[in-house]
Amino acid sequence: MRRLPSAVILSPNLGCPQLVAPEEVNSSAVVLVLATPGGEQPDWSVYAVKARPSYADEGQPFELGLSEPEMLEDDSLPMQFHDLTETRRLISTALRTHVLQGYTFWCVRARPSEQVGADHLRKVSGESRGTLYDLVLYRQGELVAQVHHALFLRPRNPEARFVHLTDLHIASRNDLWNTEIPSIIDGGTGSEGKGFVNFNEHLRKFIRWANTAADAGELDFVWALGDLVDFVHIGLVTREPTDNNWSTLIDMFISCPHERERGNEGLRVPLFTTPGNHDWRAYPYPPDLTVESFGISKATANELDYLYHDTTEEVGKKIEEVHNRLIAEGSPILARSWWGTVTSFGLRGLAVGVSRLWTRLKAILGKYLRQILWLATVSFLSGNLAVHPAWWWWLVALAFAVLAVVVTFVIPGWVNVWVRRSIESLLAIDTDVAGLHDYFLKLNPYFNYAFRLENCYFLVLDTGYDCLTAQSFWDDGGKKVRRIGVRDNILGGSPDTMGFYPPHENYPYSQIAWLERALASIQQEHHQDAGAIRKCRVFVGLHAPPANLSDRDRHQADERLKNGKPVLMQRGFLGRFDIRYGTVNHYLSEFYYLCLGYREGQTHTVTGPGIDAVFAGHAHWSIEFKLQKPERAAAIWKPEVLYGRFSEEVVKSSGPPDHWWGPLLLQTGACGPPSKSDPNPPNFRYVTIDARMGVYNLTPRTLPDEALSTC
């Protein structure tokens, strides 16, 4: 059982820190979101907060006093955000009901008891650099809560410099396997002669680069958007509630002792996060399904203990539990509305319907095969004995009966191995919000939130878990707008995710409405219209992309791109390009219009500031799209999607730095697993914006093996 604390600092936190100049701390205070048990207001006079440097010999600690407490009771979306810091006042349903049930949530201001200044900044070669602080909550002098890397004191600088990082896929098993593989099968040499690929080492390598850039004054923060961990639980049976891959990830960012032994000194710049579909997953894929990512052979993969020494009995119980549930409730790919899918989507729907029905039949066959074989045997014997009463036929019947007994025990065993093998794979996509427990408390309590650095705004959106699981266990699959399939969406492919589905059970508002009001707040502050000279830059970050291509479609698009012109992603009668392969699954048209500065029902008038770029990952490759309004648009028009190499054009542009080139839809290759398109992680995208809103770095990068260098 988890023992919940007597008070919790939810925000700022390791995955949602506050960026502030020292003088702003003195004038504006630090805004904290706290949770306390019970419904009564605490005696705030007995509480105090101390800001303590996250790393020894960097900065100076200082005290903060709490004042102006406000209870956060209303979770509904306000009609408008007066300031984007208000997005941190929305407490998710998941947090209230699954993690901190019975707690009361507060917004309080923490003001320093002494002047915060240059002495509180770390020095590198005599220059002041941004400095990370932990926040520690005391009650009557006793420590009751602590959050790491929650406050970042940053010297005043009109520029903004950040990194988009995605798909880390951290797991403690990666380090374990790295030590095990040399002793088994092929000595750690994969089918292509490469050594084992340890995703954890890719993050450690990136952290070293990021710290070098931060020391040079060339990096302000890292935006890590989803699939932070590969899966949550270490083993099928949870022995210690906190013994999970969230702990492994946090240790890497804050540098616990065993990480320092590996040469990882911890990240020196703030980190902003959002969960991806893997962050919801409880258990891993069998390694033989992803041997390419690990650089090993199938023979090696079959020797690896991917369920962490759980006993055969424990593994059997878990598989039996899932097996029985799938038979009772229908498999995740057999939505109860599958016939509606068939009739709604024509031939494609028919193929999906057949796939779902076949999976369902496999499960039924595995359960009832013995009875089916016995029925067939009895029918055969009774029918033939009536026709052939001779004595020798009785011997044939007896032999057939003996054979039938053998067959009914052997064949069902074969079938059950076949069925359970499929179910074992499906274990990896079984999701539960409980897996985010430690993420909410130790990294980031928000699904959606916003922050600001100078005149750049960053809006972070949740894209949820895999649609495959959701289809069966949420809403009976009745309101989905896309097909769901295992082969192209999960196993060996890129899964669709829940995305902007309005009736979300984990936060009580539409994300599209949230985004619209966040953009309205920016427009109100800067009087910024889409297409106009940029007084500010607006970036959206999420995990699953709003546009993507399959391998085949990307190959065709690349062929057309050779003429030097962006490729229009036409759908048409033949559906030449399916840009929704493995994407955010719902209500994308509304999102596209908001990116362009319009509302879907108001396409004749600019209503928002527009978005400069949307950063995403999920598909493990770097790929770029651009949204545009048709040149000769009628009163009612639809956004056009172009495929090209737009980040290169932005960097090479000789036009005015403050012009609007967006909205771009930018995917970045994975930090962790290699892919065919981005085979040498860690991949990331380094972005710099100057005081005139000019963007001078935007293209994706791969960190080389040679000596680290600055940007």
Q: Is residue 404 located within the same domain as residue 437?
A: no
Quote the tokens at residue 385: 């004995």
Q: What value does the mean pLDDT of the chain take?
A: 82
Q: Does residue 473 lie in a domain region?
A: no
- pLDDT of res. 4: 65
Predicted confidence band at 305 (pLDDT cuts at 50, 70, 90)? Answer: confident
Domain that holds residue 21: 8-153
What's the Cα-to-Cα distance from 541 to each of 165, 230, 242, 599, 699, rounded to whole Å?
10, 20, 28, 20, 16
Q: What percent of the chain has pLDDT over 70?
A: 75
Q: Is residue 608 located within the same domain as residue 576?
A: yes
Q: Does residue 622 lie in a domain region?
A: yes
Q: Is residue 446 located within the same domain as residue 368?
A: no
Predicted confidence band at 289 (pLDDT cuts at 50, 70, 90)? Answer: confident
Q: Is residue 413 located within the same domain as residue 539?
A: no
Q: Which residues contact 495 (CB under 8 A, 6 or more apart)?
A: 277, 429, 466, 467, 468, 489, 582
Predicted confidence band at 412 (pLDDT cuts at 50, 70, 90)? Answer: low
| Residue located via tokens 């427009």 | 523
- pLDDT of res. 667: 97
Element at 488 (helix H, strand E): helix 486-489
- pLDDT of res. 563: 87
172-223: pLDDT as tens digits: 999 988 888 877 655 444 443 357 899 999 999 999 999 999 999 999 999 9
In the chain, the number of structural domains is 3
- pLDDT of res. 400: 67
- pLDDT of res. 75: 86
> Whole-angstrom Cα distance, residue 604 to residue 577?
28
Boundary residue ending a domain (153, 168, 199): 153
Q: Is residue 561 located within the same domain as residue 622?
A: yes
CB atoms within 10 A of CB 401: 13
Cβ distance 297 to 250 under 8 Å? no
Between β-strands 664-667 and 623-628, what pairing exists: parallel, antiparallel or unpaired?
Answer: antiparallel
- pLDDT of res. 348: 42
Q: Sign of torsion, CA 150 155 159 165? A: negative
> Whole-angstrom Cα distance, residue 266 to residue 16?
17
Boundary residue ending a domain (121, 153, 185): 153
313-371: pLDDT as tens digits: 676 677 667 655 554 544 443 333 444 444 344 444 444 455 555 655 655 565 566 66
> For the domain that residue 671 is a member of, what is the CATH number?
3.60.21
> Whole-angstrom Cα distance, residue 136 to residue 49?
6
Q: Does residue 2 lie in a domain region?
A: no
Q: Is residue 579 located within the same domain as residue 670?
A: yes
Is the confidence at residue 534, as pLDDT, over 80? Answer: yes
- pLDDT of res. 126: 93
- pLDDT of res. 431: 76
> Whole-angstrom Cα distance, residue 146 to residue 8?
8
Is the confidence at residue 58, as pLDDT, over 50? Answer: yes
Q: Is residue 166 located within the same domain as residue 149?
A: no
Q: Is residue 43 located within the same domain as residue 182?
A: no
- pLDDT of res. 357: 59
- What does the CA dihedral 36, 37, 38, 43 come to, rounded to 10 degrees? -40
CB atoms within 10 A of CB 84: 19
Please tell me the total number of residues recorded for the chain in this structure. 711
- pLDDT of res. 39: 78
Is the confidence at residue 638, as pLDDT, over 60? Answer: yes
Closest alpha carbon to 436 in 272, 319, 276: 276
Mean pLDDT computed over 110-132? 94
8-45: pLDDT as tens digits: 999 999 999 999 999 999 988 899 999 999 878 899 99
Q: Is residue 115 located within the same domain as residue 62?
A: yes
- pLDDT of res. 655: 80
Cβ distance 564 to 476 under 8 Å? no
| Residue located via tokens 């932005």 | 650
Quote the tokens at residue 582: 């493995």
Quote the tokens at residue 288: 């033989």
Q: Does residue 492 lie in a domain region?
A: no
Q: Does residue 710 lie in a domain region?
A: no
Is the confidence at residue 677, as pLDDT, over 90? Answer: no
Q: Is residue 147 located within the same domain as residue 269?
A: no
Q: Does residue 82 lie in a domain region?
A: yes
- pLDDT of res. 346: 45
Is the confidence at residue 498, as pLDDT, over 60? Answer: yes
Mean pLDDT computed over 363-384? 61
140-165: pLDDT as tens digits: 999 999 999 999 999 999 999 999 99
Is the confidence at residue 586, as pLDDT, over 50? Answer: yes
More confident residue, 292 or 84: 84
- pLDDT of res. 284: 87
Q: Does residue 707 lie in a domain region?
A: no
Q: What percent of the chain has pLDDT over 90?
A: 54
Boundary residue ending a domain (153, 185, 219): 153
